[in-house]
Structure 1
Amino acid sequence: MEFSFGGPIANSAYAHVRGVLQPAILNHSVRVWLLADHMGRREGVDGLEREALAVACLFHDAGTADLYDGSQRFEVEGADAAHAFLSGHDWPAPLVQKVWEAVALHTSPGIAERMGVLPKLVRLGVMADFGTTNLAGTGGDEDMAELLKDLPRMDIEAVLSDVVVSQALRSPGKAPSSSWPGGLLAAHLANPGHTGVNPAF
């Protein structure tokens, strides 16, 4: 199914991440965009800010891709990838910085929600996809449910945690003990024979 992400740069971002992300992570990223956009439109997010939200959602797990498997936490690698992608476009620097923050902070509960509209919406979109997609009372619930059904989950919880742990095993510096990747790594090391969703997910 084809989606429009609010503008040509965001559509180009989708074409890019589609070529580097695992299918389960790509589907998750698009679901996060649909959920974040749904919430954002209720808050009046439109125009270039809406397109920036799409770029942030699409890149929020880009650090799991082999292309962006650097020495930093996957969240920071993804944020740097989004910043590099946007560097060739004539966007206001503060908006590019907000995209960076939205990606870098999406696993930081209680912080992302207070860093402005884009970090908050990406965080809430991620939470909605992993927690609940029940948008009762917000309008458009049935349409949203239909859109999400076209993007199968494909065991995203297991796929994402496995990638993050695999990166951390190769480069422990990517998983500081107080971070979400660090929690996943610690749970894996405590029970290396465990299969399925990481208990720290």
Structure 2
Amino acid sequence: MDLTTNKTPPTLPCLACSLVASSARAALTGPIRLVKRERIQYVAKQIYQVPDSINCKRALDMVAQCSPAFLLNHCLRSYAFGLAMSHKVKTTIDKEVYFLGAIMHDLGLTKTYDIGGTFELDGAQAARSFCIDRNISPEKADLIHEMVAHHNSVGIAHKKDSEISLLHFAAGLDVAGFWLNDINPKTLSEVIDNFPRLDFKEGMKQLLNEQIKRKPMSYMKPFIKLGFLKKIDTTPF
């Protein structure tokens, strides 16, 4: 797998088109499911418990030590939401790989792992290094790198490996309320109860604002110009 080492910010017209297309796909899932008489299955808490592996526990500890509580809980919700939306991908995911990518996907927003690049690539580098240092296979380490690198790649992530797609969907749900039609309402409520938001909206907006002020080539800069912070405010939970 080729590693993503550069992400040029999209132009405003291209980003607007990608966001419209993504929103249209999300909006259509509800009616299509209604016609097919499909129901989104409830996912119980035990399904999204932290995998019982030493590497998952070490990753959780590492993220907890360097992240504010609201950001840690966002990563845990992203893990849970992804498992709850696994019906959106065609292949079975590696649950341990998915947890590692989800729990570490915002490392680049922390002071410890912000090395001056666009945050998702800083985080991808840190996540891959964590994996290699703990003898996780290069193939899995590379996939985790790409999960982190592309978790905010609108119009791109959904075409990639299932773990990458699911993290993109899950983070988008938690940050901006995308894909609400693709999660069972009871599951959504229980995940938020288990991993409280803790003033997440204000915390995330502050982190993103700091990023684009310090990094002119931040991948998120055109998102902010198109009103992404307002979208965060309107998330219905």
TM-score, structure 1 normalization:
0.78
Q: 5+ residue gaps in structure 2? A: 1-45, 233-237
Q: Is 1:151 matched up with 2:182?
A: no
Distance apart, 1:159 and its partner CA: 1.3
Q: 1:121: which partner in 2?
A: 166
Distance apart, 1:154 and its partner CA: 2.3
The runs of at least 4 consecutive aligned structure 1 residues that moved more than 4 Å come to 41-44, 132-136
Deviations for 1:10-68, whole angstroms, at most 9, x for unmatched residues?
A: 1211111011111111111100000112233886636xx21110011111111110001
Deviations for 1:118-145, whole angstroms, at most 9, x for unmatched residues?
A: 1101001112223157567x77x53553
Q: 1:108: which partner in 2?
A: 153
Q: Which amino acid counterpart does residue 151 of structure 1 have in structure 2?
A: F
- Distance in 2, matches of 1:80 and 1:132, equals 27
Q: Equivalent of 1:163, from 202, 207, 226? A: 207
Q: 5+ residue gaps in structure 1? A: 189-196
- 2:172–2:179 contact (8 Å) kept in structure 1: no
- Distance in 2, matches of 1:101 and 1:77, equals 12
- Distance in 1, matches of 2:78 and 2:186, equals 17
Q: 2:68: which partner in 1?
A: 22
Q: Equivalent of 1:70, from 110, 115, 127? A: 115
- Distance in 2, matches of 1:200 and 1:84, equals 33
Distance apart, 1:70 and its partner CA: 1.1
Q: Which amino acid counterpart does residue 199 of structure 1 have in structure 2?
A: K
Q: 1:55: which partner in 2?
A: 100
Distance 1:119 1:77, change over 3 A: same
Q: Equivalent of 1:38, from 69, 81, 84? A: 84
- Distance in 2, matches of 1:121 and 1:53, equals 8
Distance 1:24 1:144, change over 3 A: same
Identical counterparts, % of pairs? 21
- 1:112–1:119 contact (8 Å) kept in structure 2: yes
- 1:4–1:11 contact (8 Å) kept in structure 2: no
Distance 1:8 1:135, change over 3 A: farther
- Distance in 1, matches of 2:76 and 2:150, equals 18
Q: 2:24: which partner in 1?
A: none
- Distance in 2, matches of 1:128 and 1:167, equals 21
Q: Equivalent of 1:86, from 121, 131, 144? A: 131
Distance 1:107 1:148, change over 3 A: same
Structure 1 residues 84-93 or 28-37, which shifts more?
84-93
Aligned-residue Cα RMSD (Å) equals 2.9
Deviations for 1:78-136, whole angstroms, at most 9, x for unmatched residues?
A: 11110011012232212211111111111111211111111101001112223157567
- Distance in 2, matches of 1:153 and 1:17, equals 17
Q: Across the two proteins, how many residue pairs are aligned to each other? A: 184
- Distance in 1, matches of 2:188 and 2:97, equals 21
- 1:69–1:167 contact (8 Å) kept in structure 2: no
Q: Which amino acid counterpart does residue 45 of structure 1 have in structure 2?
A: T
